[in-house]
Structure 1
Amino acid sequence: MGESFYCGLDIGTSSTKAILFDRDLQVVYRISHGYRLLIEGTSRAELDPGEVLAAVMQCLKEALAAARSRGGEIAFVAISSALHSLIAVDRDFTPLTGCLTWADTRALECSEELKELYASRHFYFQTGCPAHVIYAPARLRWWQSYEPDIIERAAGFITIKEYVLYRLTGQWVVDYSLASGSGLLNLYTRAWEKGLLALLGLEDNKLGRLVDGTTTLTLTREAAVVLGADVPLVVGSGDGPLANLGAGGLINNSCVATIGTSGAIRVFSPEPRFDARQRTWCYMLDRDTYLVGGAINNGGLALNWFRDNFGSTGEDYEAINALARDVPPGSRGLIFLPFLTGERSPNWNPYARGLMVGLDLAHGRKEMARAVLEGVIFRMYSIFRALEELMGTFPEVLVNGGFTNSDLWLQIMADVFNRRIIAYQTYDSSALGAVIMGLKALGLIKDYRSLDYQPTVKDIKKPVATNVRQYQRVYQLYEEIYAANALLFKKLAGLRCH
């Protein structure tokens, strides 16, 4: 028998990746296939479930071939998937809708209508999710109000991972993590929240069978023939919880921050934890492990926006960082609020939009570039403060995601947070986390903490005292600017309709 490889399959919003790890959890092969994010107007952002499935199949075929070319085989495939997707399907599991992604905000008004009902029924303190457009209750309400035929025809409401698993295994299951990210799961009973389902007029037989992420499924004969191999599938978890696991957040009891297109800060907990002011969410990794944190819509997305609208032709991210390095902390009095696609944590204001405050004739692209970098970190810091109030103080923050390529952005985080920042080498934390869950599923490790593995440290940043003092002043002003404009965002939303 040749060498055994472990495959982490990461189903994302823009692409699916398959990463092969060897027994030492080192990456030996990586393949990615993208698909279109179907955007309509300013509120709709969907995926075609068929395109996602095709990308999954192609990634698996190529990963299996890569393992064979190395004289080995894949011991298992473990799955990571983006949270907050939703598809309506008929009895044959044929999609009746596209796959709504986290970026889809069509149910904005419905989420606002649910806020009073949530407050009176305390659903946040059962599900860990506030009333917000990103979660399933608001989207189901939207279909009920505007496309009731979908509700009538639908035999089920599923995530993209459920769709992929059904096509590969013939089984309709949903892991606790994806279920918790829907906003429909009671975190205490680990069952669908009956009161919320009754409010929505939804029977629980239209939702998947709940299973732990360590559940192993078998491919159908048809899927095995198409892939050219029969390999066990470990159901896995959501990408955010698995990114924390892959970064060592459970082993070290550490706070982990990620900035990719969006951003998040999270910490594991052995029990559900809720913020009295509802600034944070609580999801699950598996049936025994919870994840407390907050997320922003606009992480690297804000930098993309700056590059595409204010950059020079062919300018890359390193060029933008070079611009920003010439500007001192505080961007010479220029402050950027990065709500280009609304706000999630900590204020859950979907109407919020971006502001560039303090512009004068002395400001140019350099100051704007630095202000964008600082604005994203300020919003991450606002979640970090709420998280520390709830979970205790963290002396350091582990970080991963694309922003670790920017030496400057890491230093800004260290200075704003006034904490040591430890960046890891891997860009595949979610896939690695899925593999670690797979090792537990197959009995190759007893539990996550018994794993003899530490990610490779890429960089460590320590706060600079003079920068910390400056950023404390700027951050206070940043929050004052937000508070002064919070009530105006909804009025601005009305102007965008014309």
Structure 2
Amino acid sequence: MSFMGLDIGTTGCKALVISESGKLITRAYAGYHLLHRGPGLSELDPDEVWRAACSVIREAASAASNAGDPVVAIAPSVLGEAVTPIDESGSPLSFSTTSADMRGADEIQQVGTMIGAERLFQITGHSSHPMFTLAKLLYWRRAEPDLYRRAQKFLCWEDMFFYRLCGRCVIDYSLASRTLLFDINRKTWSDEMLSASHIEREVLSETVPSGHLVGYVEKEINKELELGLPEHCALVAGGWDQGCAALGAGVIEEGVALDNTGTTECIAVVAKGSSISPRLRQGHYQVVPHVVPDLYLISGGSLVGGMLLQWYRDTLGGYEVEQAARQGIDPYDVILGQLSPAPSPVLVLPYFAGAGTPVFNPNAKGVFWGLTLTTTREDIIKGLIDGLGYELRQNIEFIKGCGIAVDRLHVVGGASRSGFWVQQKCNVTGCTAFVPGISDASALGAALLAGHGIGAFDSYNTIISKIMDHATEKKPDPPIYQLYTRSYALYHELVSSAIAMLGE
């Protein structure tokens, strides 16, 4: 038997199937369109997403069956915050809004003011922001009252998945916490938040822990959608994609941090208990229930990551693009292949889309410092990479200053494919880094939840240890780390000066 993780993301979904031993059997992918129909709008067509989800389930289930290892359980990993209103027949009343959709900004600010920033963080683990699901509900109630009145439920993509396959509206704790309506301490919808926002509990889904057996794919639905799943295929509660990625990357104990560098760079650090330093709120970190029982994730990061290298490639990287075309290789291999391990003499504040945690200033701008007539192309590229590394170190040091241990990084995402970049993260932060043997950490984490939900794994530690046996390990180079420590001190001063210039 085998287990499937379905990762529903912002621009596509993937299915990944593993065996009882954690071995990868197959994967499938299908994309869809992120819609921007107006200023501040960011949406998905729920029907297009559902067609893509069914397509990858169908493809992966068929491959697993052909390999003699049929899928017996599925769990979803989904993008946070995205919500779709449905009517009494289950039909969508609107497109699905994503976290980048800024509708409801005024409404969510009013609720945040009413509750108070400190109390809001104590209840939800978050600060007020229009990215959260609650903002969209408040917007629809004010701007589209007929839609709000007709809505029987407001479903995130995990609850939508279960509703369409077994008729139950169920959401796990980690994803529920991304709505700004969930009490992360009591693990239930917050009466205080519901009262302050005047949201009816009945329009929300039932909450359960990740790994909970929700039900089984209905026989008629399996046949109608031609999914090709065996009878009694179990549906198991999954989680928010960053939580699933943390599980898939083996981030399940204190002292370990997930470093997920894709378009942006996210860091998630394991902590026990939700009674965490209030100083985390000052750094704008988010506290989220982990998909692993009794653990929490401290989440933050930079608003840029791989997109910084994309910016360089598209604006300044003509030479590297030309060289890559001549050699028949990826331009990023040329960009990263020419760099020294030592710190660049050019310091770069990578605030090209504003500053992430712990500075968290949307008005911050990127800065190049230290340019001279002898500055080289390599100095600029390395400065960009170093800037991301310094931001990672700044996050780690802030979190450690809140009494939470961080000594090991588990690196996933695009950066994990570059040994040089992973080593650079070690050299800047002083942390040992591991790169898991199986990519697609979010889908893998969901697959592990699926197996655990039907009792196939004795513990997460057992199966994770098998997967991490194939991980690549890198350690800091002590002399290079010392050089970076001196450069980081100067970088930290530069950050303070730049923010002071904004009057913040």
TM-score, normalized by the shorter chain, greater than 0.5: yes
1:496 is aligned to none
- Correspondence for 1:180: 177
What CA deviation, in whole Å up to 9, does each residue of 1:343-364 have, x standing for no partner? 4432443444434444455445
Superposed displacement of residue 40, structure 1: 4.8
Matched-pair contact (CA < 8 Å) for 2:254–2:270: no
Alignment match, 2:496: 483
| Distance in 1, Cα, partners of 2:372 & 2:299 | 37
- Summarize the Cα distance change of 1:406–1:23 in structure 2 as closer, same or farther, 3 Å threshold: same
Q: Which residue of 2 aligns with 1:494?
A: none
Displacement after TM superposition at 1:25 (Å)? 0.7
Once residues 112 and 391 of structure 1 are traced to their aligned partners in structure 2, the CA distance between those partners, rounded to angstroms, is: 30
Deviation at 1:132, TM superposition (A): 2.2
* 2:422 aligned with 1:410: yes
Q: Scaled by the length of structure 2, what TM-score is found?
A: 0.87
Distance 1:94 1:481 in 2: 52
Shift of 1:73: 1.2
Distance in 2 of aligned mates of 1:222 and 1:355: 58
Confirm whether residue 368 of structure 1 aligns to residue 380 of structure 2: yes
Is the 1:264–1:294 contact (alpha carbons within 8 Å) kept by the matching residues of 2? yes
Distance 1:103 1:376 in 2: 22
Consecutive unaligned residues of structure 2, counting only runs of 5 or more, are: none
Q: Does 1:388 align with 2:400?
A: yes
Q: In the alignment, which residue of structure 2 is the partner of 1:282?
A: 287
- Evaluate the alpha carbon distance shift between residue 320 and residue 185 of structure 1 in structure 2; reply closer, same or farther with a 3 A threshold: same
2:484 to 463, 471, 487: 471
The residue aligned with 2:124 is: 127
Distance 2:369 2:114 in 1: 36
Percentage identity across aligned positions?
A: 27
What CA deviation, in whole Å up to 9, does each residue of 1:91-120 have, x standing for no partner?
333223322223334455555555544536
**SS of 1:163 mapped into structure 2:** helix
User: What displacement does 1:276 show?
Assistant: 1.7
Is the 2:410–2:434 Cα contact (8 Å) retained in structure 1?
yes
Report the 3-state secondary structure (helix = DSSP H, G, I; strand = E; otherwise coil) of the residue aligned with 1:222: helix
Name the structure 2 match of 1:219.
217
Aligned partner (choices 271, 293, 300) of residue 294 of structure 1: 300
Q: Distance in 1 between matches of 2:496 and 2:395?
A: 16
Distance 1:273 1:488 in 2: 35
Residue 244 of structure 2 corresponds to which residue in structure 1? 242
Q: Distance in 1 between matches of 2:144 and 2:492?
A: 39
Per the TM alignment, residue 14 of structure 1 is displaced from its structure 2 partner at its CA by: 1.9
Measure how far apart 1:56 and its partner are: 0.7
Give the superposition deviation at 1:178: 0.6
Say whether 1:307 aligns with 2:313. Answer: yes
Query: For residues 188 and 87 of structure 1, what CA distance do their matches in structure 2 show?
Result: 26
Find the counterpart in structure 2 of residue 74 from structure 1: 71
Of 439, 446, 454, the match for 1:442: 454
Q: Provide the secondary structure at the position in 1 that maps to 2:48.
A: helix
Match of 1:495 in 2: none
Contact 1:131 1:138 (8 Å CA) reproduced: no
Distance of 1:86 and 1:478 partners within structure 2: 39
Bigger drift between 181-190 and 106-115 goes to 106-115
Report how far residue 63 of structure 1 moved: 1.0
Any conservation in 1 of the 2:237–2:449 contact (CA below 8 Å)? no
Q: Take 2:93 and 2:490, find their aligned partners in 1: how far apart are those partners?
A: 47
Corresponding position of 1:316 = 331
Partner of residue 255, structure 1: 257
Q: Does 2:225 match 1:210?
A: no
What is the TM-score when the length of structure 1 is the normalising length?
0.88
**1:216-264, CA deviations, whole angstroms, 9 ceiling, x for partnerless residues?**
3222333210213332221211221122222222267623322122222
Range with greater deviation from structure 2 (53-62 or 33-42)? 33-42
Task: Tell me the alpha carbon deviations over residues 367-408 of structure 1, each in whole angstroms, 9 at most, x when there is no partner.
Answer: 332222122222222221222223433333222222111222
